[in-house]
Amino acid sequence: MESFSANSARSFIGRNVNLHLKDGAVIINVQLTKLLKGAGKNNNTIEYSPPGNHKATRVLLRNIAWAEMLNLNLMQSAG
């Protein structure tokens, strides 16, 4: 299985996703805001924030297994 790469991450910028980490944890319903290039090999980070919150958090790209895009229209119509 391929790792989550910078090219994959770039396609999710500005979208709401669930981030599935390699350790089995899931970061739910966050918006990816930036892809930051780190010094050295494999030190790229992705910056994300929860909807409505402007405080961003970062996670190393190499710790992400995959990202699942969310359909917010389904969530809004249910409530």
- Binned at pLDDT 50, 70 and 90, residue 2 comes out as low
For residue 1, pLDDT beyond 60 = no
- Binned at pLDDT 50, 70 and 90, residue 29 comes out as very high
- Token couple for 16: 């709401």
The predicted structure's pLDDT at residue 51: 83
The residue ranges of every structural domain in the chain are: 6-71
| Residues 6 or more apart in contact with residue 25 via CB below 8 angstroms | none
Angle at 28 between CA 22 and CA 34, to 5 degrees: 80
Q: Looking at the domain that runs over 6-71, which CATH code has it been given? A: 2.30.30.100
**What secondary structure does DSSP assign to the chain, as a single string?**
-PPP-HHHHHHHTTSEEEEEETTS-EEEEEEEEEEEPPSSTT--EEEEE-TT----EEEEGGGEEEEEE--HHHHHHH-
Residue position matching structure tokens 């969530």: 75
Residue position matching structure tokens 């996703």: 17
Q: Read off the pTM.
A: 0.83
